[in-house]
């Protein structure tokens, strides 16, 4: 640990000499741009633009469109920096720069040459969640884990670095987050026994600043055993290995393919780690730390300040990678810096983001049944742990036993599709899955680069409900309760957008862009785009006019059957059968649609 402290002290000194990226901070604060995939560092996906209101949103019309030239699932959103829009695609991860002054004329196009052998190694479609901008560069993390810095004006490659090895199952689907003089980069591959990590690369030249693994020795996961805490208690030495059997942590999962947020005042980045490998819990006894964990780390050094493991010894593939949304709100009469997280496991968490204190943990879909709830008593030996219902414990039921009726399914009450928050209403707007599953674990052996799953799944709509597979909800993170809910036929796999016009936008798997009243959830507008929407809604202005943009292109985990042409109901880790009816409503596509209210 002494060596680690000396090393990271040096890193911190170098980082301290580098000025913060003031240009990017200014762009993020300007509502006329869309300068970062998450809308802002807080992950709120809230826009101060208010030209489009509840009174005129019903007049929205298509302003212009563009085909991306690629099929399969289109996640993420465009960026707008000044008069240029930057657009990305799924594999092969083409990037376009479009001139907004000339009806979207293509200024430049970058098309990486990637080995198509990476496609079958990607878990749940060939999606990518978008590019990032900083310091005059566009950053793309390709499917093959190559991180590329492109000149924002010309598209020329300024540097590139390889972040992983697809032959071992390491791939990428996520965006990156620029912070100060670094970009923060994750890794995918939990279904291949990849050991997850987060890496900081220097924006100037792509050199590695630090790397923090999700599990392993203290020096690998960048912790100080005495000062890194879990629910207020120091984690102690060897916390990343002592809840694993032998050296299983080396193929332990905990990948980091979700979203990142950042608090500049605390200089902390926040993110979540994914499922432990394998999906058969009997093969990996123990809590499997630090999979399924909310992590807060120093942006300069990577040293962890605090952890919170939401689902110890996961038995259902409830990855913890969903976004951490940062707010400043009143809690019991005191203004607190809060973090709100809607986990795959069906629980909505509210935490103090400075200390890691757990404040709220409540179900954000009433059908969640694998747990009765979280022990919230700080004096209890099981403080912060969920109480597992034996009937839905896939380990207690045993290998080669089909546990039925588990809610939610493995894709969670919410997957990576990001929620939005409105400071006007102090509500969170959450796209959700209303899906349950049968889960049968079986013994599996590890071979590098081969699937390391060990379970067969079947998915279906939650029983005794509205018959659909999704809801779009408004959530009160202080009370821990749903304020209103809109039932949807399929899971809502699109990222939401809240605006100062008191409107919330989201997309549906059938292909509808919808606008609803932020206060009541009443539908104000809908338009069916050419393909199912799994992208995230964004907004910007050009020539003083507000526009709303969305990528269409069905796919992702929910749409993997359509995207990859799969028909076996158990394929796609159970999603093909669950979403078989989706093909009656939409087909493959790849299109950007931009909307505006006519003059």
Domains, in order of start, for the chain: 2-596 (2.140.10.10)
**Residue 33 to residues 39, 174, 413, Cα–Cα distance (Å):** 9, 21, 31
- For the chain, counts of helices (H) and of strands (E): 6, 40
Q: Tell me what pLDDT residue 3 has.
A: 39
3-state secondary structure (DSSP) of residue 36: coil
Sheet holding 334-342, edge to edge: 324-331, 334-342, 347-352, 358-363
Given the structure tokens 């219902």, which residue do they identify?
389
The answer to whether residues 359 and 338 touch, using CB atoms and an 8 Å cutoff, is yes
pLDDT for the residue numbered 552: 98
Which 8-state DSSP code applies to residue 212?
E
Q: What pLDDT sits at residue 277?
A: 96
Label residues 229-268 b or e (16+ Cβ within 10 Å = b). Answer: bbbeeebeeebbbebbeeebbebbbbbbbbbbbbbeebbb
In the numeric block, which tokens belong to residue 69?
């030239």
pLDDT at site 282: 97
Residue 392: left if φ>0, alpha if ψ -120 to 50, beta else—which one?
alpha
Preceding peptide of 303 cis, ω within 30°: no
Q: 10-residue block means of pLDDT along the chain (599 residues)?
A: 41 41 94 98 98 98 97 97 98 98 96 94 94 97 98 98 97 97 97 97 97 98 98 98 97 98 98 98 98 98 98 98 98 97 98 98 98 97 98 96 98 97 98 98 96 96 93 98 98 98 98 98 98 98 98 94 91 92 95 97
Residue 227 φ/ψ, nearest 5 degrees = -120, -10
pTM (two decimals): 0.95
For residue 556, what are its two tokens? 């992702």
Active site residue 317: yes
- Show the tokens assigned to 545: 């006019």
Q: Which of 95, 182, 98 is nearest to 140 (CA)?
A: 95
Tokens of 392: 């839905």
Q: Which of 297, 292, 336, 295 is nearest to 310 (CA)?
A: 292
Selected catalytic residue, list 125, 181, 300, 317 = 317
Q: Which two tokens stand for residue 242?
A: 């002592």
Kindly report the backbone phi and psi dihedral angles of residue 416, in degrees, each rounded to the nearest multiple of 5, phi listed first. -70, -15
Beta-strand ranges (E) seen in 78-162 are 79-81, 84-88, 95-99, 105-110, 132-134, 137-141, 146-151, 157-162
Q: How far apart are CA 195 and CA 216, in angstroms?
A: 9
């Amino acid at each position: 640990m002494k060596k680690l402290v000396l090393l990271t002290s040096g890193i911190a000194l170098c980082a301290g000499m580098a000025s913060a990226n003031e240009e990017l901070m200014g762009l993020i604060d300007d509502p006329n741009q869309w300068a970062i995939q998450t809308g802002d560092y807080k992950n709120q996906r809230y826009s101060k633009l208010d030209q489009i209101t509840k009174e005129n949103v019903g007049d929205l019309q298509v302003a212009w469109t563009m085909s991306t030239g690629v099929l399969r699932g289109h996640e993420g959103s465009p960026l707008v920096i000044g008069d240029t829009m930057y657009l990305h695609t799924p594999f092969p991860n083409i990037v376009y720069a479009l001139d907004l002054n000339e009806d979207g004329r293509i200024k430049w196009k970058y098309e990486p040459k990637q080995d198509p052998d990476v496609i079958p190694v990607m878990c749940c479609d060939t999606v990518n969640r978008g590019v990032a901008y900083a310091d005059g560069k566009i950053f793309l993390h390709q499917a093959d884990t190559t991180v590329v810095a492109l000149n924002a004006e010309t598209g020329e490659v300024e540097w590139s670095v390889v972040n992983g090895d697809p032959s071992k199952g390491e791939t990428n689907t996520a965006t990156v987050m620029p912070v100060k003089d670094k970009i923060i980069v994750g890794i995918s591959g939990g279904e291949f026994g990849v050991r997850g990590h987060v890496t900081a690369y220097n924006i100037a030249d792509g050199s590695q600043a630090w790397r923090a693994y999700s599990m392993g020795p203290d020096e690998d996961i960048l912790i100080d055993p005495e000062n890194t805490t879990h629910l207020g208690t120091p984690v102690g030495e060897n916390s990343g290995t002592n809840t694993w059997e032998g050296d299983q942590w080396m193929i332990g999962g905990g990948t980091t393919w979700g979203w990142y947020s950042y608090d500049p005042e605390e200089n902390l980045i926040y993110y979540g780690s994914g499922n432990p490998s394998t999906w058969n819990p009997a093969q990996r006894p123990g809590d499997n730390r630090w999979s399924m964990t909310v992590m807060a780390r120093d942006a300069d050094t990577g040293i962890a300040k605090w952890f919170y493991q939401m689902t110890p010894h996961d038995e259902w593939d409830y990855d913890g990678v969903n976004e951490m949304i940062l707010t400043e709100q009143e809690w019991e009469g005191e203004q607190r810096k809060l973090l709100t997280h809607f986990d795959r496991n069906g629980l909505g968490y509210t935490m103090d983001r400075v200390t890691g204190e757990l404040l709220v943990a409540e179900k954000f879909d009433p059908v969640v049944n694998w747990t009765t709830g979280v022990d919230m008593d700080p004096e209890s030996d099981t403080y912060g742990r969920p109480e597992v219902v034996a009937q839905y414990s896939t380990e207690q039921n045993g290998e080669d036993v089909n546990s039925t009726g588990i809610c939610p399914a493995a894709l969670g009450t919410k997957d990576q599709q990001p929620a939005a928050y409105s400071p006007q209403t102090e509500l969170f707007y959450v796209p959700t899955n209303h899906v349950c599953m049968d889960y049968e674990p079986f013994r599996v052996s590890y071979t590098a680069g081969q699937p390391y799953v060990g379970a067969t799944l079947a998915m279906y709509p939650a029983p005794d409900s509205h018959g659909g597979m999704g809801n779009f909800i408004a959530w009160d993170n202080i009370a821990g309760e749903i304020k209103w809910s809109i039932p949807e036929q399929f899971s809502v796999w699109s990222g939401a957008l809240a605006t100062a016009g008191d409107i919330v936008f989201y997309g549906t798997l059938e292909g509808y862009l919808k606008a609803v009243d932020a206060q009541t959830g009443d539908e104000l507008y809908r338009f069916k785009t050419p393909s199912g929407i799994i992208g995230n809604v964004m907004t910007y202005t050009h020539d003083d006019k507000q526009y709303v943009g969305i990528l269409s292109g069905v796919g992702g985990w929910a749409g993997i059957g359509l995207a990859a042409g799969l028909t076996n109901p158990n394929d796609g880790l159970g999603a093909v059968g669950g979403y078989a009816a989706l093909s009656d409503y939409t087909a493959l596509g790849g299109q950007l649609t931009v909307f505006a209210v006519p003059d």
